[in-house]
Amino acid sequence: MQAVLEGKLDEAGLTPAERALLEYVKLITEAAYRSTPDDVEKLRAAGWKEEQIAEAVYVTALFAFFNRVADAFGVPSQDYLVTGKLTP
Protein backbone atom coordinates (compact mmCIF):
# COMPACT_ATOMS: atom_id res chain seq x y z
CA MET A 1 0.00 0.00 0.00
CA GLN A 2 2.77 2.46 0.89
CA ALA A 3 4.42 1.97 -2.51
CA VAL A 4 1.13 2.80 -4.25
CA LEU A 5 0.62 5.89 -2.09
CA GLU A 6 4.12 7.04 -2.97
CA GLY A 7 3.55 6.40 -6.67
CA LYS A 8 6.15 3.62 -6.76
CA LEU A 9 4.07 1.21 -8.80
CA ASP A 10 7.07 -0.92 -9.77
CA GLU A 11 7.54 -1.77 -6.08
CA ALA A 12 3.88 -2.32 -5.27
CA GLY A 13 3.54 -5.96 -6.29
CA LEU A 14 0.64 -5.22 -8.61
CA THR A 15 -0.64 -7.57 -11.27
CA PRO A 16 -0.37 -6.32 -14.85
CA ALA A 17 -4.15 -5.76 -14.85
CA GLU A 18 -4.00 -3.69 -11.64
CA ARG A 19 -1.11 -1.67 -13.00
CA ALA A 20 -3.01 -0.96 -16.24
CA LEU A 21 -6.05 0.19 -14.27
CA LEU A 22 -4.02 2.50 -12.03
CA GLU A 23 -2.27 4.01 -15.03
CA TYR A 24 -5.66 4.61 -16.67
CA VAL A 25 -7.07 6.18 -13.51
CA LYS A 26 -4.04 8.47 -13.36
CA LEU A 27 -4.72 9.54 -16.94
CA ILE A 28 -8.38 10.22 -16.14
CA THR A 29 -7.38 12.17 -13.02
CA GLU A 30 -4.77 14.34 -14.69
CA ALA A 31 -6.08 14.75 -18.25
CA ALA A 32 -9.30 12.89 -19.03
CA TYR A 33 -9.56 14.69 -22.36
CA ARG A 34 -6.46 12.77 -23.50
CA SER A 35 -8.14 9.39 -22.97
CA THR A 36 -8.70 7.45 -26.17
CA PRO A 37 -10.55 4.27 -27.13
CA ASP A 38 -7.13 2.59 -27.26
CA ASP A 39 -6.65 3.33 -23.55
CA VAL A 40 -9.90 1.54 -22.76
CA GLU A 41 -9.00 -1.32 -25.09
CA LYS A 42 -5.80 -1.87 -23.09
CA LEU A 43 -7.95 -2.40 -20.00
CA ARG A 44 -10.19 -4.86 -21.83
CA ALA A 45 -7.10 -6.73 -23.03
CA ALA A 46 -5.87 -6.84 -19.42
CA GLY A 47 -9.11 -8.57 -18.41
CA TRP A 48 -11.24 -5.72 -17.09
CA LYS A 49 -14.95 -5.83 -17.92
CA GLU A 50 -16.94 -2.86 -19.18
CA GLU A 51 -18.70 -2.46 -15.84
CA GLN A 52 -15.40 -2.42 -13.97
CA ILE A 53 -13.89 0.15 -16.30
CA ALA A 54 -16.97 2.34 -15.96
CA GLU A 55 -16.90 2.03 -12.18
CA ALA A 56 -13.24 3.06 -12.11
CA VAL A 57 -14.11 6.18 -14.12
CA TYR A 58 -17.10 6.99 -11.88
CA VAL A 59 -15.11 6.60 -8.66
CA THR A 60 -12.24 8.67 -10.04
CA ALA A 61 -14.64 11.42 -11.11
CA LEU A 62 -16.44 11.40 -7.77
CA PHE A 63 -13.20 11.78 -5.83
CA ALA A 64 -12.21 14.69 -8.06
CA PHE A 65 -15.63 16.26 -7.48
CA PHE A 66 -15.50 15.83 -3.70
CA ASN A 67 -11.95 17.20 -3.54
CA ARG A 68 -12.91 20.29 -5.53
CA VAL A 69 -15.98 20.93 -3.40
CA ALA A 70 -13.94 20.52 -0.21
CA ASP A 71 -11.26 22.86 -1.55
CA ALA A 72 -13.87 25.43 -2.58
CA PHE A 73 -15.35 25.46 0.92
CA GLY A 74 -11.97 25.50 2.62
CA VAL A 75 -12.30 22.09 4.27
CA PRO A 76 -8.86 21.39 5.76
CA SER A 77 -6.98 18.27 4.77
CA GLN A 78 -7.19 15.46 7.29
CA ASP A 79 -3.81 14.06 6.20
CA TYR A 80 -5.08 10.49 6.37
CA LEU A 81 -2.61 9.34 3.75
CA VAL A 82 0.29 11.19 5.34
CA THR A 83 -0.24 9.93 8.87
CA GLY A 84 -1.69 6.53 8.02
CA LYS A 85 -4.43 7.16 10.60
CA LEU A 86 -8.09 6.82 9.81
CA THR A 87 -9.14 9.04 12.70
CA PRO A 88 -7.95 12.58 13.42
Task: Give the domain ranges of the chain.
Answer: 2-83
φ, ψ (nearest 5 deg) of residue 76 = -70, 150
How large is the average pLDDT for residues 69-76? 92
User: Can you give the pLDDT at residue 84?
Assistant: 55
Could you tell me the pTM of the whole model? 0.78
> How many whole angstroms separate alpha carbon 29 and alpha carbon 57?
9
pLDDT band at 82 (very low <50, low <70, confident <90, very high): low
CB of 10 closer than 8 Å to CB of 29: no
Q: What integer best gives the mean pLDDT of the chain? A: 88
CATH architecture of 2-83: Up-down Bundle (1.20)
What pLDDT score was predicted for residue 21?
96
Please state, in angstroms and as integers, the Cα–Cα distance from residue 27 to each residue in 23, 35, 53, 72, 80, following that order.
6, 7, 13, 23, 23
Q: What integer is the mean pLDDT of 54-75?
A: 94
